[in-house]
Structure 1
Amino acid sequence: MMNLVDLSHPLDPEHMSIPPGLPQLTCCPIATVPKDGYSMHAVSFGSHTGTHIDAPSHFIADGKTIDQIPLNALVGHALVLDLTHKGPQEIITWNDISQNPHAEKIEPGIILLLHTGWSKHWGSDQQIYWDHPYLSPDVADKLIASGISVIGIDCASPDKSQLEPPWDFPFHHAFLGRGGFIVENLTALEELQGPTVTVNLLPINLVGCDGAPVRGIAWN
Structure 2
Amino acid sequence: MILDITGPIRNGMWTYGDPLPSVEIEQVAMLEGEGWKGHRLQLHTLAGTYIESADHLLPGRKTIGELPVESFVRRAWIAQLSDKRELEPITAAELAAACEGHAHRPGDALLIATGWDKRWQEPEFVTHCPFFTEETMKWVIERDVGLLGVDVPCMQDPRADDGTLCRQFFKQERLLLAPLVGLRKAATGPWMLAALPLSIPGVCGAPCRAILMPITEGG
Whether the 8 Å contact between 1:81 and 1:102 is mirrored in structure 2 is: no
TM-score by length of 1: 0.87
Q: Deviations over 1:115-145 (max 9, x none)?
A: 01100000113x2553222112344344333
Whether the 8 Å contact between 2:76 and 2:110 is mirrored in structure 1 is: yes
Q: Does 1:174 align with 2:171?
A: no
Q: Does 1:208 align with 2:205?
A: no
Q: Does 1:217 align with 2:215?
A: no
Residue 95 of structure 1 and its aligned partner are, at CA, apart by 2.2
Structure 2 vs 1, CA of residues 128 and 199 (structure 1 numbering), >3 Å: closer, same or farther?
A: closer
Whether the 8 Å contact between 2:76 and 2:193 is mirrored in structure 1 is: yes
Residue 25 of structure 1 and its aligned partner are, at CA, apart by 1.2
Instruction: Name the % identity.
Output: 23
Residue 182 of structure 1 and its aligned partner are, at CA, apart by 0.6
Whether the 8 Å contact between 1:137 and 1:174 is mirrored in structure 2 is: no
1:152 is matched with: 149
Instruction: Work out the CA distance in 2 between the residues paired with 1:25 and 1:52.
Output: 14
Instruction: Work out the CA distance in 2 between the residues paired with 1:157 and 1:86.
Output: 14
2:85 is matched with: 87
Structure 2 vs 1, CA of residues 44 and 74 (structure 1 numbering), >3 Å: closer, same or farther?
A: same
Instruction: Work out the CA distance in 2 between the residues paired with 1:128 and 1:64.
Output: 30
Q: Does 1:19 align with 2:16?
A: yes
Structure 2 vs 1, CA of residues 145 and 70 (structure 1 numbering), >3 Å: closer, same or farther?
A: farther
Please say which of residues 26-35 and 137-146 is displaced more in the overlay. Answer: 137-146
Residue 167 of structure 1 and its aligned partner are, at CA, apart by 4.8
Whether the 8 Å contact between 2:77 and 2:102 is mirrored in structure 1 is: no
Query: Cα RMSD (Å) of the superposition?
Result: 2.0
Residue 5 of structure 1 and its aligned partner are, at CA, apart by 1.1
Whether the 8 Å contact between 1:81 and 1:195 is mirrored in structure 2 is: no
1:177 alignment partner, SS class:
coil
2:196 alignment partner, SS class:
coil
**Which runs of no fewer than 5 residues in structure 1 stay unpaired?**
none
Whether the 8 Å contact between 1:121 and 1:129 is mirrored in structure 2 is: no
How do 1:1-220 residues align onto structure 2 when only pairs under 5 Å count?
3-14=1-12, 16-21=13-18, 22-100=20-98, 102=100, 104-125=102-123, 127=124, 129-162=126-159, 167-220=161-214
Please say which of residues 179-188 and 5-14 is displaced more in the overlay. Answer: 5-14
Q: Which amino acid aligns with 1:154?
A: D
| Displaced runs of 4 or more, over 6 A | none
Instruction: Work out the CA distance in 1 between the residues paired with 2:48 and 2:60.
Output: 25
Please say which of residues 137-146 and 151-160 is displaced more in the overlay. Answer: 137-146
Residue 98 of structure 1 and its aligned partner are, at CA, apart by 2.2
Residue 17 of structure 1 and its aligned partner are, at CA, apart by 1.6
1:79 alignment partner, SS class:
strand
2:166 alignment partner, SS class:
helix
